[in-house]
């Protein structure tokens, strides 16, 4: 065991030295995962890199890319008397007029759950109430949402629905790659579900390069090192640097669940706009569990604070400190935009770890 630790430590030291002293062509890496953004900051990895290696945070935080119109829909349903169930981050995201936290202060029934099946349990517990789960996320969380709906159907539950804003990553990769010459640090947990086939195809057919990365210091440093080294050949490439979790085919069970319960749809991404085929909605077979259909939710305005620059930050066009509200009117305690609310958001990462300079944190 000690020998393995020693070997890992030596490899980390070699990677640190390479990345610190790199003096070749500028390399632009985009981490398309909010957890990567936060871990890279928290571990002090940015401070290790040569100025010739630029890390750009992309649209990889599901809460951050979800528009204000979705919050408006959830607030509307809460005001109709539904129990709204959600993961915690969404509660404080501003809507056009109110966040869910503000609606709760007005008496709405908003509850934080840790899994979609918890929302289903709540529906079984309160058969006289309608329970809506806010289904927001990428392929990482979508199978769990599909499972809850499938269970609800099998059990004949009539008071459980999803309000969906599920998204898939492929179109986002294409949108970002077209705008910038980037190498992606692909999100390990998304590709644990969908596999690496699409990454390989993006490299071979569309010239889009990337490396799938895990989340530890060792995994992140290894992935960044591989990306920088591969970039030297000036050829499109793909490397799976997280093979202990991610396979070529991904999770067959997870993919089968998504295919059974959901179908592709167009979706709005904050900063990018509407992209065809970049979302998932409930299929006809599960339409009775679609909150929009069951409650005839009207179309919402979805107006965001015009001073907030989340949209540009999510495209890597500017950094959080470029926003005049950053750290002043907008902090994690009093967030103006989704990127500061979310525990995966770029603004919150800059706020929490922006002064990180202690490179030893990598160890
Ligand atoms: Fe929006 Fe706040 Fe980030 Fe500015 S600092 S872009 S207001 S979330």
| Distance, C-alpha 24 to centroid of its chain | 31
Query: Is the CB–ligand 1 distance for residue 208 below 6 Å?
Result: no
| pLDDT tens digits, one per residue of 183-241 | 999 999 999 999 999 999 999 999 999 999 999 999 999 999 999 999 999 999 999 99
Q: Which pLDDT belongs to residue 60?
A: 83
Identify the segments of the chain with pLDDT beneath 50.
Answer: 356-363
CA of 47 to the centre of ligand 1 (A): 23
Domain 2-59+170-234 identical in fold to domain 63-169+250-294: yes
Q: What is the model's pLDDT at position 271?
A: 86
Task: Tell me the domain boundaries of the chain.
Answer: 2-59+170-234, 63-169+250-294
What pLDDT shows up at residue 128? Answer: 97
Is residue 128 within 8 A of residue 230, CB to CB? The reply is no
Q: Is 320 in the pocket of ligand 1 (CB under 6 A)?
A: yes
Cα–chain-centroid distance for residue 60?
Answer: 4
Nearest CA to ligand 1 atom 5: 326
- Pocket flag, ligand 1, residue 280 (CB < 6 Å): no
Pocket lining: 323 vs ligand 1, CB cutoff 6 Å: yes
CA dist., res. 269 & res. 346, Å (int): 15
CATH code, residues 2-59+170-234: 3.40.50.11750
Q: What are phi and psi of 176, to 5 degrees?
A: -75, -40
**Ligand 1 centre from 324 Cα, in Å?**
8
Strands (DSSP E) along the chain, which ranges?
27-31, 53-57, 83-86, 110-112, 131-137, 160-167, 183-187, 209-213, 238-240, 262-269, 273-282
Residue 255 burial (10 A CB sphere; 0-12, 13-18, 19+)? middle
Residue whose Cα lies nearest atom 3 of ligand 1: it is 347
What per-residue confidence (pLDDT) applies to 179? 58
Domain 63-169+250-294 has CATH 3.40.50.11740: yes
């Amino acid at each position: 065991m000690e020998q393995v630790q020693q070997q890992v430590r030596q490899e980390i030291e070699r990677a640190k030295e390479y990345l610190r002293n790199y003096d070749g062509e500028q390399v632009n890496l985009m981490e398309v995962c909010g957890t990567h953004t936060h871990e890279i900051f928290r571990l002090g990895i940015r401070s290790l890199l040569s100025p010739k290696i630029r890390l750009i945070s992309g649209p990889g935080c599901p809460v951050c890319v979800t528009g204000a119109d979705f919050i408006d829909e959830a607030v509307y349903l809460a005001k109709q008397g539904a129990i709204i169930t959600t993961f915690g981050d969404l509660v404080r995201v501003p809507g056009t007029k109110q966040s869910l936290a503000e609606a709760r202060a007005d008496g709405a029934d908003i509850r934080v759950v840790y899994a979609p099946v918890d929302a289903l349990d709540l529906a079984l517990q309160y058969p006289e109430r309608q329970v809506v789960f806010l289904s927001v996320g990428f392929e990482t969380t979508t199978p769990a949402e599909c499972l809850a709906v499938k269970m609800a159907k099998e059990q004949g539950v009539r008071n459980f629905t999803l309000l969906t804003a599920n998204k898939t990553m492929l179109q986002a990769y294409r949108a970002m790659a077209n705008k910038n010459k980037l190498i992606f640090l692909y999100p390990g947990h998304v590709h644990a579900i969908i596999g690496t086939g699409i990454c390989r195809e993006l490299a071979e057919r569309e010239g889009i390069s990337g490396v799938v990365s895990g989340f530890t210091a060792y995994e992140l440093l290894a992935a960044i090192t591989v990306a920088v080294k591969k970039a030297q050949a000036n050829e499109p490439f793909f490397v799976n640097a997280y093979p202990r979790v991610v396979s070529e085919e991904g999770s067959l069970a997870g993919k089968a669940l998504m295919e059974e319960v959901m179908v592709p749809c167009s979706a709005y991404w904050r900063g990018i706009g509407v992209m065809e085929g970049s979302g998932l909605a409930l299929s006809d077979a599960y339409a009775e569990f679609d909150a929009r259909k069951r409650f005839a939710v009207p179309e919402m305005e979805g107006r965001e604070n015009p001073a907030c620059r989340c949209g540009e930050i999510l495209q890597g066009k500017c950094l959080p400190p470029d926003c005049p509200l950053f750290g002043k009117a907008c902090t994690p305690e009093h967030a103006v935009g989704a990127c500061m609310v979310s525990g995966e958001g770029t603004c919150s990462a800059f706020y929490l770890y922006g002064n990180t300079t202690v490179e030893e944190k990598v160890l």
